[in-house]
Amino acid sequence: MSWHVLGAGSLGGLWAARLFRGGEPVRLILRDRTRLAQYRAGGGLRLSEGDITSLYPLPAETPEAGNPIRRLILACKSYDAEEAIASVAARLEPEAEILLLQNGLGSQDAVAARVPRARCLRASTTEGAYRETDFHVVAAGAGQIWIGDQLGSHTPPAWLNTLTELGFPVRWTDDIDARLWRKLAINCAINPLTVLHGCRNGELRQHLSEVAALCAELTALLEAMGLAPAAQGLQQEVEAVIAATAHNRSSMLQDVERGQRTEVSYLLGHALPIAGRLHLAAPHLTELQQRLQTRLAERGLPED
Ligand code: NAD
Ligand code: KPL
């Protein structure tokens, strides 16, 4: 049974190359015929791990290809996910399973609503990858991948063991929402501040009172949502992540530096309306979003 990977960027490239290398049938879905021609001209997908770069000649196609899709890995950015799934919806088999790799929250529900018959599994990953050039991905950091089902299904998909055997650091969770919310909270406390201060994660150690104020509001939000375990020790973990990733540029800062849209709508933009509905005051998070939007606008980038 073939895998399809839609979104041959950093994370999609990493997943596709590892599946192909492990002997799994896998096909890339590229946006259009121009991208497909560019991909074919390069001879395949390059993956660099440490000092070693390998070329993997994965087959690729456009969304219009005729073959049915049974297992799909959706690896585009959150803001592209709905349009991307719509482009292949007609090709999904009735029993199709879709693995959503998007960071933040909001896009997963939007995708699931577009394809109500498919099983949409959600992933929360702390692995790192970036694009050296088009179709050349660099594996940039080990991590952990949690996979779960929104409906609290206790049945992992049959292919979870395959991923483990191939060396994917995957674990099943019955509460993926709590994992995604915890990561969202960590990203809300770190990523926008790195953009506003124009700094690597570690330099936020000079702004720990700002971080603490954000963590207090995020903790209150998670608790009010009934996600107390996801709220526990949030500030300590944020400080630990800042220390452990001190030399990294956050994904949001990298987006801004590359002149790309950020995923803020799926982070602060997802959390703040929920805080509002719960009548929770979140002045620091609100001000953070406003300052970030101003900075994005100054740089000519979308505010959402
Ligand atoms: P990316 O920009 O490197 O790759 C996304 C790819 O999707 C691009 O190649 C883009 O052309 C493609 N795409 C978008 N719309 C498409 C469409 N309609 N049809 C075909 N292709 C389409 O992004 P990324 O860094 O791989 O991130 C993907 C998601 O994973 C994001 O939500 C990100 O936050 C999350 N994530 C990334 C990392 C990482 O280290 N890169 C780590 C954790 C989570
Ligand atoms: O996930 C991250 C991101 O940059 O999006 C952190 C944890 C902040 C590491 O950089």
Q: With a 6 A CB cut-off, is 31 part of the ligand 1 pocket?
A: yes
Query: What gap in Å lies between CA 195 and CA 216, rounded to an integer?
Result: 20
Shared-domain flag, residues 194 and 276: yes
Residue nearest to atom 1 of ligand 2 (CA): 187
CATH code, domain carrying 88? 3.40.50.720
The answer to whether residue 303 sits within a structural domain is no
Asked if residue 150 has its Cβ within 6 Å of ligand 1, the reply is no
Q: Which domain holds residue 145?
A: 3-174
Q: How far apart are CA 91 and CA 83, in angstroms?
A: 14
Is the pTM higher than 0.85? The answer reads yes
Note if 183 is an active site residue: yes
Helix, strand, coil percent content, the chain, rounded in steps of 5: 50, 20, 30
The ligand 1 atom nearest the CA atom of 141: 40
Residue bearing tokens 């609290």: 152
Whether 252 and 103 map to the same domain: the answer is no
Judged by DSSP in three states, 184 sits in helix
Q: Which of 174, 192, 212 is where one domain is finished?
A: 174
CA distance 118 to 95: 6
Co-location of 147 and 103 in the same domain: yes
Catalytic one among 183, 249, 261, 270?
Answer: 183
In the reported structure, the alpha carbon of residue 274 is separated from the centroid of ligand 1 by a whole-number distance in angstroms of 26
Whether residue 169 sits in one domain with residue 24: yes
For residue 204, give the ligand nearest its CA: 2
Please give the number of the atom of ligand 1 that sits closest to the Cα of 14: 26
- Any residues with Cβ below 6 Å from ligand 2, and which? 186-187, 190-191, 201, 241, 245, 248, 250-251
Tokens of residue 53, six digits? 């770069």
Task: Decide if 101 contacts 129 (C-beta within 8 A).
Answer: no
Return the pLDDT at 52.
Answer: 97
Predicted confidence (pLDDT) per residue in 165-191, tens digit? 999 999 999 999 999 999 999 999 999
**Is the domain of 155 the same as that of 186?**
no
Residues of the chain with pLDDT under 70: 151-152
pLDDT score, position 151 = 66
Nearest protein Cα to ligand 2, atom 10 = 250
Domain count, the chain: 2
Number of the ligand 1 atom closest to the C-alpha atom of 11: 26
- Asked whether residue 248 is domain-assigned, the answer is yes
Compute the distance between CA of residue 29 and CA of residue 24 in angstroms, rounded to an integer.
16
Residues 166 and 67 in one domain: yes
Last residue of a domain, one of 146, 174, 202: 174
Same domain, 20 and 76: yes
- Cβ atoms 91, 67 nearer than 8 A: yes
Q: Decide: 251 in ligand 1 pocket, CB within 6 A.
A: yes
The residue among 174, 194, 213 that closes a domain is 174
Letter string b/e over residues 219-236, b meaning 16 or more CB atoms within 10 A of that residue's CB: bbbbbbbebeebbeebbe
Domain identity same for 208 and 105: no
| Whole-number Å distance between alpha carbons of 50 and 169 | 18
Same domain? 117 vs 82: yes
Look at the block and give the residue holding tokens 């099943």.
Answer: 172
